[in-house]
């Protein structure tokens, strides 16, 4: 028998007033990813595909953000409550027969395992609805689960509508449900707004099912963190912390040494091979990949880059760059977009490299700018070398061959080619190409004036004595 397909419905129309932001709440990021995308990902991993997302406030932005995720969208023009939001999906899901998972776009810590468990519980129990719940000493703000004995749930009461006695209930609604879709869309249009907030509550579906003799159960979670609803920026920060530790733990379990989890930030999409060491105060973002044996940090920031086998990154900033095996950078290197360091290449302190290829075993060790350049293998670039790649209108390329030597404090005016095995004398301004194996000297010729300083010193001290004697 083919498994029952499960539909998905994500409520994401609210503004999130308590965030005090113009950005729709569900687009605020947790560990670098908009919250609603994390919810969509958890559902997808559990096999709930192409969920219907209800958008409203900032709908266009939400749809844009979810464009790569294969969602269907419906609009809730006015935010009249979670039940009203769910009802907006009727044109898409109204005919669907089977389970529908309903989640909120503001529960970013949801995992696929829990979604799977919820659907299994729904299919196994024969209930018309299963509600995810958790027990907490701080139930404030959540809907309370009202039970009739051990199994049956007979209602969910919102904090604002609860009696003092109901407020003491510590089992709360996590905001994640699995409904029989036909039952849900039959009941939703019948719900009223007779409550403290004058809204249509999705939670009222539970009492309606119970009233007509149906069965609603609750699935209690072990890890309430997972259901943390983000309503303000402090909850956003707390969710980010939980998510960050989750990611770090995953890498640690895969064989990555995380020296200090309190100061290490790794984005959800970063890939790290075993036997990598991440030192304190390191941030790895975007689609960064780190290969085995590499060591990064302390104090490194790496985004959308590849750090190859056995590389060393120390106190550096790396953006859209590729470091091949055993290359090194830092301290204080700035590898900008389009940089590639070949095997065993070395970039040192206060060196900026942009849109350039640095060849195998080449060293650019100190105080240098290499922009729009191709540098060959085994070449040495001396301290203070500058490629002048910009003439105020256009960028030009510099090409430096293999086994070349560029003396310290040289200025290479692009477009320029310095040949294989060529040498540039220190302090040169290079404005002509340098042939292979040639020496270029582009600086004023030095002249030594014998005894010049001695006679100057004598002259000056004589003048000083004259001045002192003539003082009254």
Q: Annotated active-site positions, please?
A: 366
Give the number of residues written for the chain: 472
158: Cα separation from own chain's centroid:
34
76 binds, among Ca ion, ligand UD1, none (CB under 5 to 8 A by kind): ligand UD1
Report d(CA 67, CA 116) in Å as an integer: 24
Nearer to Ca ion, 119 or 176 (CB): 176
Establish if 35 lies at the interface with ligand UD1 (CB under 6 A). Answer: no
Cβ contact 321:338 at 8 Å = yes
Structure tokens at 263: 């100061």
Q: Which residue has the tokens 């980010």?
A: 240
Binding to Ca ion, residues 215-254 (CB under 5 A): 229, 231
Closest CA to 144 of 159, 154, 129, 130: 159
Rounded least distance, CB 112 to ligand UD1, Å: 19
Residue of minimal CB distance from ligand UD1? 143
Identify the three-state secondary structure at position 157: strand
Establish if 382 lies at the interface with ligand UD1 (CB under 6 A). Answer: no
Cβ contact 29:108 at 8 Å = no
Establish if 175 lies at the interface with ligand UD1 (CB under 6 A). Answer: yes
Binding to Ca ion, residues 94-113 (CB under 5 A): 106
Piece of 63-71, 98-106, 242-250, 284-292 that binds ligand UD1 (CB under 6 A): 98-106
Piece of 9-17, 89-97, 284-292, 393-401 that binds ligand UD1 (CB under 6 A): 9-17
Helices (H), 1-54: 35-45
Establish if 177 lies at the interface with ligand UD1 (CB under 6 A). Answer: no
Nearer to Ca ion, 159 or 372 (CB): 159
Rounded least distance, CB 344 to Ca ion, Å: 53
Nearer to Ca ion, 196 or 211 (CB): 196
Report d(CA 147, CA 73) in Å as an integer: 34
Nearer to Ca ion, 103 or 381 (CB): 103
- Helices and strands counted in the chain (H then E): 10, 39
Cβ contact 372:379 at 8 Å = no
203 binds, among Ca ion, ligand UD1, none (CB under 5 to 8 A by kind): ligand UD1
Establish if 229 lies at the interface with ligand UD1 (CB under 6 A). Answer: yes
Structure tokens at 288: 């960064």
- Cα separation values, 309 from 235, 288, 293, 372, 380, Å: 38, 14, 6, 25, 23
Roughly how many angstroms between the first and final C-alpha of the chain, as a whole number?
A: 117
99 binds, among Ca ion, ligand UD1, none (CB under 5 to 8 A by kind): none
Binding interface with Ca ion (CB under 5 A): 106, 229, 231
Binding interface with ligand UD1 (CB under 6 A): 11-14, 26, 54, 56, 76, 79-82, 84-85, 104-106, 142-143, 156, 158, 172-175, 201-203, 229, 231
């Amino acid at each position: 028998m083919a498994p029952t397909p499960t539909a998905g419905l994500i409520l994401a129309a609210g503004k999130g007033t308590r965030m005090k932001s113009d950005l729709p709440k569900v687009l605020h990021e947790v560990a670098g990813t908009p919250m609603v995308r994390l919810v969509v990902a958890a559902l997808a991993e559990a096999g709930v595909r192409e969920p219907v997302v209800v958008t409203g406030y900032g709908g266009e932005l939400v749809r844009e953000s979810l464009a790569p995720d294969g969602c269907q969208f419906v609009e809730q023009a006015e935010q009249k409550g979670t039940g009203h939001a769910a009802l907006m999906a009727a044109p898409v899901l109204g005919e669907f027969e089977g389970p529908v998972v309903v989640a909120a776009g503001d529960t970013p810590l949801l995992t696929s395992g829990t979604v799977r468990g919820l659907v299994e519980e729904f299919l196994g129990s024969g209930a018309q609805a299963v509600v995810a719940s958790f027990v907490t000493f701080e139930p404030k703000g959540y809907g309370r689960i009202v039970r009739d004995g051990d199994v049956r749930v007979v209602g969910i009461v919102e904090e604002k509508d609860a009696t003092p006695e109901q407020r003491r209930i510590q089992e709360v609604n996590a905001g994640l449900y699995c409904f029989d879709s036909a039952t849900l869309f039959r009941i939703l249009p019948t719900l009223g707004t007779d409550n403290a907030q004058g809204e249509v509550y999705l939670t009222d579906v539970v009492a309606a099912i119970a009233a007509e003799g149906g069965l609603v159960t609750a699935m209690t979670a072990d890890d309430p963190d997972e259901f943390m609803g983000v309503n303000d920026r402090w909850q956003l920060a707390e969710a980010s912390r939980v998510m960050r530790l989750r990611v770090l733990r995953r890498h640690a379990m895969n064989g990555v040494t995380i020296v200090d989890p309190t100061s290490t930030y790794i984005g959800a999409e970063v890939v790290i091979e075993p036997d990598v060491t991440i030192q304190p105060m390191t941030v790895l973002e975007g689609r960064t990949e780190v290969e085995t044996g590499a060591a990064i940090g302390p104090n490194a920031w790496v985004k959308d880059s590849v750090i190859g086998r056995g590389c060393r990154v120390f106190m550096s900033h790396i953006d859209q760059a590729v470091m091949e095996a055993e290359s090194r950078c830092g301290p204080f290197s700035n590898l900008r977009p389009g940089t590639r360091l070949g095997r065993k290449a070395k970039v040192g302190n206060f060196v900026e490299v942009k849109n350039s290829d640095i060849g195998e075993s080449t060293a650019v060790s100190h105080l240098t700018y290499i922009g729009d350049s191709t540098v060959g293998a085994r070449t040495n670039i001396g301290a203070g070398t500058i490629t002048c790649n910009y003439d105020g209108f256009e960028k030009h390329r510099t090409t430096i061959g293999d086994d070349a030597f560029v003396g310290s404090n040289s200025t290479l005016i692009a477009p320029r080619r310095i040949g294989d095995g060529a040498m540039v004398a220190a302090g040169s301004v290079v404005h002509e190409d340098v042939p292979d194996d040639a020496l270029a000297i582009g600086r004023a010729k030095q002249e030594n004036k014998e005894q010049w300083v001695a006679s100057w010193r004598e002259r000056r001290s004589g003048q000083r004595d004259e001045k002192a004697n003539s003082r009254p």
